[in-house]
Structure 1
């Protein structure tokens, strides 16, 4: 077990050893889990995304960065950023999700994992600054509860669709990526959980990398205190225990059991925001080629953070170089 000095009123390592974390299972899927998600994916693929590229905003690390907007399900227009290589022809593409709170810029997601790559970096609905939607809270503790009364209205399902539509928009803007299998998906925390839910149904994605993914093993998460959005779900569950039936359809570990494409998960031993047992449940359930990178901590500043980030960047580059080359 990894231990850090902290002032949280709970143990962010949750008393688990690495071996115990590697044994955390995924909950069983509802009988119509696949039908539910395939129908949502089919609807997202039918959206005319009509992407539009904005003016050049930055140029660094071999790419030009533009604003971008596109249509997603429910008539929502999503904003974000598009990165295009300065010189080389495009050989790879990436859809890159983000953590709760949105993203202010492409930030550390650029440089991209591989050279000669294009990427779309959306702000999914309800997250700032380019995904704000009237009626959807932009604070994570409220966003994660929006529409949770029903599997058909829960905002998480539409956020997953925003990633599918981002892939459609990227392939429309960079048509040489279509049908190549050289499209990768990345997601961290909130984006990692969305990514796991998105992956089983989309054959355009050739490989994926998820970092400290959330939404893994909801039945267990409901028993684990945390400092992240999961605490809001725990509070809601205390007043509305029937929500467990909705959460069954949005379990990243359950979805991971249907992911057959190569996937690397970076999971933390200590994480106050996303309990590590849920993170490891996602990795443990993966059905295809998989790689695990164990992090000392997630969502926590510590002395070795810079070295861990550098190690993750290098591992990600090697992983995608093997599967998207």
Structure 2
């Protein structure tokens, strides 16, 4: 496990932000929840669960890593039609289901999202609104520094809330398309897994506390943690656009309080594996660790040397994280059907 960091870089700021060790970062807290935080998210979740997602499975687009890849489309809140991919086992029955969120900018294809975390997994890879070709929605910017500001004037219009709903609706689409997962969330039913990195990690922290269909999660270098602190930290990611907006519109802090991944993590009780970095120019590490530190349930931490930055030893740390992911989900997810 990484313990301290000193990497050569050309940024005009310190991507370790003066912390540099896990011990220092493990002290970063979560901001308190604003009034009505829980009610706001529960109401959004209820609206998303009421959506008829009408998923459509496309033809096979390829086969790799033991799965067949299909295009998929589904409806989310506001009647928005979104796309993505569904990976189904090439052989055998479906035993597990996963929703995998993507980073800012979307996904042009499954890429690093495969192979699945566990054998026999059905995986939906949604493109949330505004992100990538299959998430394109008229009126929503596709560039991260503009997307992160879309609708930010009100908690009810901020696009980040709708992106979280897109994940809930993706889970509904998955359980509709894969009969083995239809009982997800019922007392004796299977539980889904969630994986999200960066943007997808922050969205996962916001979305998961309210959805009992999930049984475990992995959040890698999650964004949106501790907005009051993030607003003081320069970065090379979407947070810099929020900082610039805040300088002109300081009242935006009232909205951001409802979309703080660390605050939401204080409500997140399902087992969660967090991979957080000591050095990250795009997502400041204090915000990443704030999400981990706030988790209300069982948690595991893998400390990474860096995020959003190439470094020596990166492949070895990624392989370690892959092994931890397989073990973590294998020990905690309830599978569909009888155990072998």
Normalized against structure 2, the TM-score is what?
Answer: 0.95
SS of match in other structure, 1:236: helix
SS of match in other structure, 1:103: coil
Residue in 2 aligned with 1:10? 13
Question: Could you list the per-position Cα deviations for residues 179-212 of structure 1 after superposition, in whole angstroms to 9, with x for gaps in the alignment?
Answer: 3233101100000000000011000001000000
Question: Could you list the per-position Cα deviations for residues 29-67 of structure 1 after superposition, in whole angstroms to 9, with x for gaps in the alignment?
Answer: 012000000000000000000000111111011100000
Report matched runs for 1:1-325 at 5 Å.
1-16=4-19, 17-177=21-181, 178-179=183-184, 180-325=189-334
Q: How many pairs align? A: 325
Task: Structure 1 unaligned segments of length 5 or more: list them.
Answer: none
| Alpha-carbon distance between aligned partners in 2 of 1:304 and 1:129, rounded to the nearest angstrom | 33
Q: CA deviation at 1:175?
A: 2.1
Task: Structure 2 unaligned segments of length 5 or more: list them.
Answer: 335-340
| Alpha-carbon distance between aligned partners in 2 of 1:36 and 1:175, rounded to the nearest angstrom | 31
The farther-off stretch of 13-22 and 154-163 is: 13-22
SS of match in other structure, 1:248: helix
SS of match in other structure, 1:192: helix
Question: Could you list the per-position Cα deviations for residues 81-135 of structure 1 after superposition, in whole angstroms to 9, with x for gaps in the alignment?
Answer: 0000011100100000000010011011110000000010001000002000000
| Alpha-carbon distance between aligned partners in 2 of 1:41 and 1:175, rounded to the nearest angstrom | 22
| Alpha-carbon distance between aligned partners in 2 of 1:305 and 1:102, rounded to the nearest angstrom | 22
Q: CA deviation at 1:302?
A: 1.0
Normalized against structure 1, the TM-score is what?
Answer: 0.99
Question: Could you list the per-position Cα deviations for residues 4-28 of structure 1 after superposition, in whole angstroms to 9, with x for gaps in the alignment?
Answer: 1000000000110321100100000
Q: CA deviation at 1:264?
A: 0.5
* RMSD (Å), alpha carbons: 0.7
Residue in 1 aligned with 2:337? none
| Alpha-carbon distance between aligned partners in 1 of 2:134 and 2:309, rounded to the nearest angstrom | 26
* Contact 1:91–1:182 (CA under 8 A) maintained in structure 2: no
